[in-house]
Amino acid sequence: MINQEVETTKRIFTGLACFLYPLAAFIAFIAHPNLLSLEVGVPVMDKIAEFHHNRFMHFGHLLMVLAVPPLTIVILKFMSMLKEDGAWAGFIGGFLAIFGALGLAVQKTSQCLVMSAFDTLPEVVYTQLLPGIEAIFQMKGYLVIVWLLPLLPVGVLIQSIGLYRANSIPRWQSVVMFIAMLGMIVSAAVDIDIFGLVSTVVLAVSWFPLGYAFIKGDLN
């Protein structure tokens, strides 16, 4: 009985995780002040200015940090679902995606949570910190770990291919997930937020029904 209750709880939390990550990502993207800009290669100081005293943006990125554990739960679930012919896609995709999720957590922590702390300082002190803030946004030192972030959509994309081939979930959901991850890869490459927002909405089209199926017990 206890084991059954644990399995039911795990299934429900997995389903909720499918809702939480797209929702957090959506809020984080709409918080960007220049969301509709198609400019490629925005200067670092302009990015810093977007974050400065932008409480909504800080909140959105805080949600992204908190969404990393639910995201990891979904990735691990896909790994467990993919067996036999899809096992390699599940493992390789999951391995890459988890390291990408680590890059996501580091990026949002350094460029948001740290920035929110700096925003509590007097403006004259904040101005003196700008060279250090610029180094953070340029990912100097060990912050190069942020470059792991693109592995997240690449890994989930590989898993979506495995899920399609194994027919582990409805194939249309695998296709939509693939399209969403492809969009996120493009968004990361060109650093255009609207691409990321659209890709997040597309991902929700796949993951929301998937989450509901987990909660109902239609998928194990």
CB 93 within 8 A of CB 156: yes
Does the pLDDT value for residue 170 go beyond 60? Answer: yes
Does the pLDDT value for residue 217 go beyond 70? Answer: yes
For 36-54, what is the mean pLDDT?
82
Segment 95-117, tens digit of pLDDT: 999 999 999 999 999 988 999 99
Does the pLDDT value for residue 63 go beyond 90? Answer: yes
Nearest C-alpha neighbor of 68 from the set 112, 6, 133: 112
Segment 120-147, tens digit of pLDDT: 999 999 999 999 999 999 999 999 999 9
Alpha-carbon span 203 to 210, nearest angstrom? 11
Name the CA radius of gyration of the chain, rounded: 18
Does the pLDDT value for residue 176 go beyond 90? Answer: yes
Concatenated DSSP letters of 73-137: HHHHHHHHH--GGGHHHHHHHHHHHHHHHHHHHHHHIIIIIHHHHHTTS-HHHHHHHHHHHHHHH
CB 155 within 8 A of CB 94: yes
Burial class (CB in 10 A: 0-12, 13-18, 19+), 36: exposed
Token code pair at residue 82: 């993919």
Does the pLDDT value for residue 8 go beyond 60? Answer: yes
Rounded to two decimals, the pTM is: 0.91
CB 155 within 8 A of CB 148: no
pLDDT at 46: 85
